[in-house]
Every structure is written in C-alpha cells, then in structure tokens.
Structure 1
Amino acid sequence: MAKLSLFDRRRQRVRSALRAQKGGRPRLSVHRSGRHIYAQIIDDAAGRTLASASSLAKGSKGPGATVDAAVRVGKELAEKAQQAGVTTVVFDRGGFLFHGRVKALADAAREAGLEF
C-alpha cells in the first residue's frame, strides 16, 4: 500500500464523515487551486451537478485567488442553488483546511441562504 499524502488522508477522512451524515442531502464540493476557487452542488444519488460557480467564470471581476473572490463565488453559488430548489447541503471541503478562502466561501454561502 502506497503512503498517502496528508492532503489525501484528510480527503478520505472528510469523505467518510460525509457518507455517515449525508441523509439524502446534496453535497457542496469545494476545490481550491493556486489561481482560482471552484464550488459545485452535486446530487450523488442522481449523479449530476445541480449548481456551480467559480472565480474563473465570465463576469468575474479581479483575481481569482483571493478571499474576496471566494466570497463572490459563495454568494453566486447560493443564489444558483436557491433557483434550483436546494436549501440544505453537506459541506465537502475535500482535503483543504477550513480556513482562508474555503472558510470565506462557506461563510458567504451561509449568509446568502444555504444551510449546512
């Protein structure tokens, strides 16, 4: 068995905890790269994406690797989710630590109406 990186170990730990608490709710998945941040709401039962937003999208202003960009993405995702009829989700941070841009996105999504 290959030795896993700390990121991969965190990702496995987060994913197993999500499976335990899921209860039929869609998953808000976050990916953070060096230049941008991406988020999508996924219905795993149906295997489809219900809503998505990123700092790479057209109309996005300013650099994508900032806390301000993460706040914009969180608000935009929450608006799209409400249009799709989604109000409660399970937050999947992947292997990313819950601080900085990931935390800013989550807080903005909560303020805009998503519950998790």
Structure 2
Amino acid sequence: MNKLDRKNRTRFKLKKVSSRKRLSVFRSNNHLYAQIINDEQGTTLACVSSLEKSFQNKKNKSKKELAEDLGKEIAKRSIKNGIKEVAFDKGKYKYHGIIKILADAARAGGLDF
C-alpha cells in the first residue's frame, strides 16, 4: 500500500465518521507541523510548527523532544480556543516514533482523542 492511499483512507474515515475537529500532523525531513482543522468550514483553528521562533532556540533538542513540546503546545493552543475533543489525523504516517510521541503529549496536555 502506498502512502497516498493510506493518507486518503485515513482522512476519508475521519471526515465520514467523526464530527470532531481534526488534529492533522505533517512531518518533513527537518520540521514538524500540527494543526487543528474544522472540516465543516474548511478553516484552521490552531497551528504549531517547529519553524516558529519559540522552537528555533531548541535546535539542540532531539526530534523526539521537539515532538513532545509541539504536542503540548498544540494542546495548549486548542484548549485556549475552546477545543478539547479532536480526531487525530496521522496522515500517511504510521502511528509510530515522533508521530506517537506528539499524539501522547497532546493527550497529556488535555486533548481527548
């Protein structure tokens, strides 16, 4: 199964079954991105990225530590906007490694999924 098929299958199931907001994660070779998306309106409600200045001074940290910090920050920002229940969209990635660490940190930060 290729990554595009996995991504499309995951998103289709989330949009069809869940009426919750979607916590979408993207991983590049160097950076991590997470955003809370309202699929009904097609808008981004909260986002966090390792490119932000608050995370740039943490370049000496490992990717796992950075993923944990991003998970806590996206949880903090979404709760500030009144969003506690989300559906986790791992996209084309396996629920493993830094994706799992980010999800666990977001759960520990107060998000419910």
TM-score by length of 1: 0.90
1:49 aligns with 2:51: no
Output the amino acid matched with 1:68: E
Give the Cα–Cα distance (whole angstroms) in 2 for the partners of residues 63 and 90 of structure 1: 31
Q: Give the aligned partner of residue 10 of structure 2.
A: 14
Shift of residue 57, structure 1, vs aligned partner: 0.7
Q: What's the Cα RMSD here?
A: 1.5
Residues 28 and 41 of structure 1 are in contact (CA less than 8 Å); yes or no, is this contact kept in structure 2? yes
Residues matched between the structures, number? 111
Shift of residue 12, structure 1, vs aligned partner: 1.4
Q: Give the aligned partner of residue 105 of structure 1.
A: 102
Where does the alignment leave 5 or more consecutive residues of structure 2 unmatched? none
The 1:46/1:83 distance shift into structure 2, 3 A limit, reads same
Structure 1 runs of 4+ with >6 Å offset: none
Name the structure with the higher helix share: 2
Where does the alignment leave 5 or more consecutive residues of structure 1 unmatched? none
Give the Cα–Cα distance (whole angstroms) in 1 for the partners of residues 27 and 50 of structure 2: 10
TM-score by length of 2: 0.92
Give the Cα–Cα distance (whole angstroms) in 2 for the partners of residues 15 and 41 of structure 1: 14
- Identity fraction in percent: 44
Output the amino acid matched with 1:54: S
Output the amino acid matched with 2:99: V
The 1:52/1:64 distance shift into structure 2, 3 A limit, reads farther
